[in-house]
Amino acid sequence: MTCDDRCNRYDRRDLGLLLLRLGTGGVLAAHGAQKLFGWFGGHGLEGTGAFMESVGFAPGKASAAASGLAETGGGALLVLGLATPAAGAAAAGAMAGATAVHAPNGFFNTGGGYEYAATLGLAAAGLAVTGPGRLSLDHALGHVLDRGWMVPAALAGTAAVTAVVVGARNRRVRERQQGTQDALFE
């Protein structure tokens, strides 16, 4: 017997989406908890804020709180399969910021590159687009927080905010580099 989209039982797509949500959301939530609370070997808001400031995000502590909330909240909501468009978009936006920091180091994570951040961001964005599947709170609640119109709205809103934040960060980094340029003649 085959089961199509109208079938009432769960199929392997629902199980696959659940596994993807658990893995991606769990990693994001733990990563954000490092920033917010200093859990799992993280540095908490103070330490992460100082790091954020050093890589051009200002104010550092507010940037750490925003990225920590996007990762922790977005990740936890992805695990639950609740408000999936907003959760996936928020997490993807946070990972776009991390990608901008690591991009000068190339692609691979072994050299400090953006491979890890980009992978998490793309997985979160993919979940925002595809939805959580039937093994989710969104499905159990009748998709009240997972409507079709919410996907482009969440992704567009996050893209706009991310572009502004990353653009300001990149401007600060360029200004800092210009101010520390070595003299041509001594």
pTM higher than 0.85 for the full model?
A: yes
Task: State which H helix or E strand residue 51 sits in.
Answer: helix 44-54
Asked whether the beta carbons of 48 and 64 are under 8 A apart, the reply is yes
- pLDDT tens digits, 125-176: 999 999 999 999 999 999 999 999 999 999 999 999 999 999 999 999 999 8
Q: What's the full length of the chain, in residues? A: 186
Give the C-alpha separation, 86 to 157, whole Å. Answer: 10
C-alpha to C-alpha distances, 83 to 4, 92, 99, 115, 148, nearest whole angstrom: 25, 14, 24, 26, 12
pLDDT at 184 over 80: no
Backbone angles phi, psi at 57, to 5 degrees: -90, 125
Give the C-alpha separation, 63 to 131, whole Å. Answer: 28
Q: Where are the domains positioned within the chain? A: 13-185
